[in-house]
Every structure is written in structure tokens, then in C-alpha cells.
Amino acid sequence: MTLRTRSSRPVGAAKQLFFVASALVAACGGKGGAPPASGPVEVGVVTITPTSVTLTRELPGRTSAFRVAEVRARVNGIVLKRLFVEGSDVKEGQRLFLIDSAPYEAALDGARAALARAEANLANARLLGQRYAALVEDKAVSQQEYDTAMAAQKSAEADVAAARAAEQAARINVGYTAVTAPVSGRIGRAAVTEGAYVQAAQATLLATVQQLDPVYVDVSQSTDEVLKLRRDLESGKLHGAGKGQARVRLVTGDGREYAQAGTLQFTGVTVDPGTGSISLRALFPNPKGELLPGMFVRARLEEGVSPRALLVPQVGVTRDQKGVPVALVVNAEKKVERRQLVTDRAIGDAWLVTEGIKAGEQVIVEGLQKVRPGALVNPVPAGGAK
């Protein structure tokens, strides 16, 4: 009895395992445990709506002073004194340097004496001419003598005019010994020191004065961009940004937008053969002196208004292996389509698209990694996708 009972235990355990396996197979429905089919993938989309956008173009440029006046010597002499503080603001007519004036004052005195002598000779010639005029009527002197007296009077008058001009020139040279600022502005460092000898022939540079309020900003723009802008304005794709001078904004080298707005002054008419660009100049107020000549800046020019611009969020645009921008669009059958786009520029966090998308279409911006072209999806507004 004992032996038969022990030998039956392994047989009963095997039967139990067989029944458990059969039950598991039956529970799976004979399908080998395959997962149930899934439904359409839910993605977040943005519906493209035409928007009126003011288009701007950002161009690199450099600032320059409104006026630059080089203060140069106009007479020869020794610099006696500098009368300004380097780097300070000066006013027009303010004295900057004193040049030794002694030789020129002596020349002025000589010119005054020559003028007095010429005026005395003229007075004598006039008296003689008046005397001969009375005598020639009485035949007391000949006509020849009278004509000679009148010629002497005219010669004396010419001598007086020449002497007066020489006296004025000498007086001007004396004035040039006190060198003054030709314009108001900020003066740089002195190019000469006291004791230096300056010359009028070489026009020795003494200092430079720059007017910094307002300032110019000179930029360059590609001729291709200029021609495209004109075509868009003529065809009606763009509307003019406004009447009068175009407004310009400025971004400094540290990325900060300058508080004061400028105006476009002119556009060049000559193309640079080396760069294929034309020059533009804008004028900016600079009351606080924040803009200094030679600074690198970026100017934002208002080009026009696009009344029906199509803006696609940048998160919904990728690039293929060739660098072409592409986006995934949900069509009317709720299937994914891959579109190649033509973008014009970035506006905020979106791309301005000119080709490849139409108004009213839905661009996928959430769940891009879960779908492929041709897949059936369930589009929901961006931000609501699970």
C-alpha cells in the first residue's frame, strides 16, 4: 500500500500542471497572447490663420558722428597754451589753443601804417585833381596835365584799396593765432602740446571735434533683398509701412534695444562691386551720449506690412538631411502629410512661410515623435494633447 501511494504522487502533480496550462491557453483565446489593436494617435495641432504682420529687416551697421571737424593750424607759430580739457564737450567758437601772435601783430601794425600812408597820398591826389579841374577851364593848365592828375588820383585810390586789404589779411592772421572750435561737440585728445611748432602749409592737426547728438548709423543691404522688396510692394504682397521717412530701431552690441527710434535718411544709388550691396544711412538722437562713433550695431528697418502672413510655430518645423524646412500637416482625412516649406524669416517664435502651407491647415506641434507620414491621427488643439 505504501509503495503504490508514493508512486502515484508524481503522476497527480503532472496532471495538475497540464490542466493549468490548458486553462491559460483557453484564456488567451488561442491567439498566442497578441496585444489588442490601438486607435489613432492623439497629436496637438495649430491651425494656420492669416495675420497682418509688420515686416522688419535686421542689418549690421556702424555708428558715425553727425559732424567731424578737424581743428588745424592756419598760421605758423609756437603753441603757447591749450585751453580745453581732453574728452570734454566744447561750444562752437570756444578758444582751444593759443599760438604766438607777436609776429602777426607786428605785421598788422605795418599794414596799418601802409594804409595810413596810402590814404594820405590819396587825399593829396584828390586835392590836386580838384585844383586842376578849376584851372583847366581857365586854360591855366593843359588838358594833358589835368589827365595826369586824375590818373594819379585813381592810382592813389587803388593803393588805398590794396593797403586796406593787406591790413585786413594781417588782422585775420592775428585772429588765427587764437584757435577756436568750428562746431559744438566732444573734443578728443590734443594732437600737439605746448611748445610745439605748427605750420599752415602742412595744416598741422591740433585736435578733432565730433558732434554726437544726433549720430548716423550706416548699414548695407543686399541688392537682391532691395529688388525683392520693391517687387513685393508693386505686386501688393506688401503694403508700405507708412508715409514719410521709414522708422528704424537699433540694437546695441550687448543685445539691448536702444530707446530712441531713428529715421532712414537716404538709400545709396551705387552698388558696391565687391559685396553686391548698397548703403543706407539712418539718423538717431543721442541726447545722453550712449552711442559713440565706430560702435557695431544692428538696425531694424520697417520694410512693409504683409496683410495675410502665414506664421508657423518653430516647434512644428524641422529640417531634412538637405536642410530643407519641413512640417507635418493633418489633412482632411486626418492623416499625416509631410510638407516642404519655403520660409522667409523668423518672426518671434514662428517662421514666416511663403510656400508649402495654406490658410486653415493644421500643423502638428505636439507628438511629432509618435507619428509618421500617412498615419491616422486624432488632432486636438495644442496644449490639450495627452
Which has more pLDDT, 148 or 229?
Answer: 148
pLDDT tens track for 34-70: 444 467 889 999 999 998 888 778 888 999 999 999 9
Report whether pLDDT(7) > 80.
no
pLDDT tens track for 321-330: 899 999 999 9
Report whether pLDDT(246) > 80.
no
For the chain, domain boundaries: 43-53+309-381, 55-65+212-306, 102-174
Mean pLDDT of the chain: 83
pLDDT at 241: 52
In this structure, of 20-29, 91-100, 166-175, the range with the lowest mean pLDDT score is: 20-29
Residue 83, classed as helix, strand or coil, is coil
pLDDT at 247: 77
- As given in the structure block, the three cell numbers for residue 152 are 594819379
Phi, psi for residue 189 in degrees, rounded to 5: -75, 155
108 C-beta neighbours (distance < 10 Å), count? 20
pLDDT at 19: 44
- As given in the structure block, the three cell numbers for residue 386 are 495627452
Q: Residues 24-29: what's their mean pLDDT?
A: 43
DSSP result, 114-181: HHHHHHHHHHHHHHHHHHHHHHHHTTSS-HHHHHHHHHHHHHHHHHHHHHHHHHHHHHHHHHHTEEE-
> CATH fold of 102-174, please?
Helix Hairpins (1.10.287)
Report whether pLDDT(229) > 70.
no
Report whether pLDDT(284) > 90.
yes
pLDDT at 143: 87
pLDDT at 81: 95
> CATH fold of 43-53+309-381, please?
2.40.420
Give the CATH number of domain 55-65+212-306; options: 3.40.50.1360, 3.40.50.1100, 2.40.30.170, 3.40.640.10: 2.40.30.170
pLDDT tens track for 207-225: 999 999 999 998 888 877 7
pLDDT above 70 coverage of the chain, percent: 84
pLDDT at 55: 79
pLDDT tens track for 93-116: 999 999 999 999 999 999 999 999
Most confident of 14-28, 258-272, 275-289, 323-337: 323-337
Neighbouring residues of 63: CB distance < 8 A, sequence distance ≥ 6: 215, 216, 217, 218, 291, 292, 293, 294, 295, 297
Neighbouring residues of 145: CB distance < 8 A, sequence distance ≥ 6: 132, 136
Task: Report whether 24 contacts 32 (CB < 8 A).
Answer: no
Give the pLDDT band of residue 235 (cuts 50, 70, 90).
low
pLDDT at 4: 42
Report whether pLDDT(158) > 90.
yes
- As given in the structure block, the three cell numbers for residue 195 are 611748445
Fold: same for 55-65+212-306 and 102-174: no
